[in-house]
Amino acid sequence: MSIPNPGPSSSRRRSLRASEGRKRPRSKFRPIVAGLETRSLLSTLVVSNSGDGTVGSLRAEIAASKPGDVITFAPSAYGTIDLTGGPLEVSKSIRILGPGAGQVAVNGGGKSSVFAVDAGVTATISGLTITGGQSIGSAFGGGGVTNQGNLTLADDLISGNASYAGAGVASATGSLTIVGSTISGNSASGTGGGIEAGGYNVSGTAGPLTIVGSKISGNTANNGGGVFDSGGSVTIVGSKISGNTATVFGGGIDSSGTSSVSMTLVNSTISGNTAGIEGGIRAYGENVGLYASSVTGNQGGGIQVGGTFGAAAPNLNVVLSTVSGNTSTSSGAGILSTNGPNVTVIGSLIRGNVASYPGGTTYGGGIAMQDFLLTAPSPGTDTLTIVGSTFSKNQASDGGAVYTGPFANLSVKSSFFDGNTANGTGSAEGGAMDLSGLARGTIADSTFTGNEAIGSAMGGQAAGGAIALNGSADSPLGTDLTILGSLFAQNEALGGSGGGIASGGAIAIQADSITITASLLTGNSAVGGAGSASTAGGAGQGGAVALSGGSASFRSDLITGNSAMGGTPSGPGNGGGVFVSNGTLTLTNTLVVGNKATTTGNNIDSPTLIR
């Protein structure tokens, strides 16, 4: 039997009726319609044909673009775009992304520049060949690209352009960044065959130039065959600048500025460039840093850094780098420093650089420090610092590896000097180093082996197979040169035929002071030049050391196995170990033994009193 549902109780029914009679509260939510923020929709515009000015052409798409837009190329636009309406003006911040330099070329036809980027614009042009641009005689504008904004060129080929300045690319006060590109075969009648930054911009300061993973080759100009920069900072990373030519300055790079800006090269190569002066790099007034890079095989010299009158001296830092095989008819075939720059070489190789001028004298095959200021600087104002580096097979008339002019400081530590040669057209001084008028110098824990000073024919004299120290008076800063814990072995001074005198197989001192401590001098030789039937052979003086004026002080040294031999016939050999013609010789706890002279003084030949 089913039990009926009684339903809600009477009390519950009363409660329900009461609640139904109450009013529900109104909601406080009020929906509204809000306007969206104002913004432009970025577009990708596509070049559909290779015409110039027609609908779908590159010129038309640039004109139609808005800031932030991207322009790409359809396969139907591949090939060569021949410009007929002048340069393509980029007046908005856009990116032009080509399919690759081998797919699309933009040709100026020898009538105008190819691209012109306006001031205030940030633009990218990539994946194109830019060629046939010409802007010769223009006071403003490059052949291939003219930039007044902030421009990045990526994966481009810029070739066959011409201009007075910046034949490949000319950039003014904005920034220029070149990535993964090749700039080659461009020609400027003035400056900057490949690139010019700021040179033509007379009213402002050049913006920064950055080159990454790129090749700059085969360009020509009067100055700056590859790159010309005036006043801006330059950064070059993982790039190669080679085979460029300048008729005057800087076959690879010609750059000038102040000590507040710098040129920095990292993991880059400057090679095979040619110029009248400094085929590789010429930098004037600005700091230069060479890091894990090489400057090789340039004609006209490797690197020149120069100071300016009344300005702070710039610095050159060569770190973990190679400077080799450069040639010059002037001084400093590897590195030339003029008028005050400080040069620091750390962990680097300076090798096979040759400074040679027929009938003339050159200084410093590896490095030359020279001052041409109208008034002499204060003593010790420019410094050459060499640490953990190797100098080998460099050559010049004087100072085969290193030459320092008056007032310079020298600091050498833990370095090797091997097989360098001074072979002048007359006399030759300092197979490894010619230190002239040195303010103060220190050489520590270093090795000098197989260096030669070779006098020329017709009786040329030779002095200092390893080091020639020359001056007219002692340095106002104290002892001119201090040598600590170093080795001098198998160095030679060889007089020229015709009876040339040879002095100081290892070290020759003239009117200067030197202190040598805890060092070994062995196997060095001074050999007079051969005479003739009517002329006696030249004298060989000081197989290890020759002193002519000034003073030499030895402390805890060993001088052994050196020789002084006169040239044939009948040339005198004097002082197999040490020869003194004038000056003061001091020996303290020093052994001079086992040396040989063909005439007098197997160990020491000195007319003056030995202290």
pLDDT tens column, 324-337: 999 999 999 999 99
pLDDT at 391: 98
Answer whether CATH 2.160.20 is correct for domain 43-261: yes
Token pair 């402390």 in the structure block, residue: 555
CB 216 within 8 A of CB 194: yes
pLDDT at 373: 53
CA 528 centroid distance within chain: 40
CA distance 435 to 404: 5
**Position 469, amino acid:** L
Contacts of 3 (CB under 8 A, 6+ apart): none
Any idea where the domains of the chain sit in the sequence?
43-261, 357-365+372-381+402-611
Low-confidence residues of the chain, pLDDT below 50?
1-24, 27, 29, 36-39, 201-202, 374-377, 473-474
CB 163 within 8 A of CB 197: no
pLDDT at 341: 87
pLDDT at 425: 83
Token pair 């012109």 in the structure block, residue: 116
Q: Whole-model pTM?
A: 0.91
Q: State both tokens at 144.
A: 């291939």
Using the 8-state DSSP alphabet, how is residue 398 labeled? Answer: B
Integer angstrom CA distances of residue 437 from 207, 338, 441: 41, 15, 11
pLDDT at 511: 85
pLDDT at 4: 47
**Position 473, amino acid:** A
pLDDT at 609: 60
Contacts of 235 (CB under 8 A, 6+ apart): 208, 209, 210, 211, 263, 264, 266
pLDDT at 205: 67
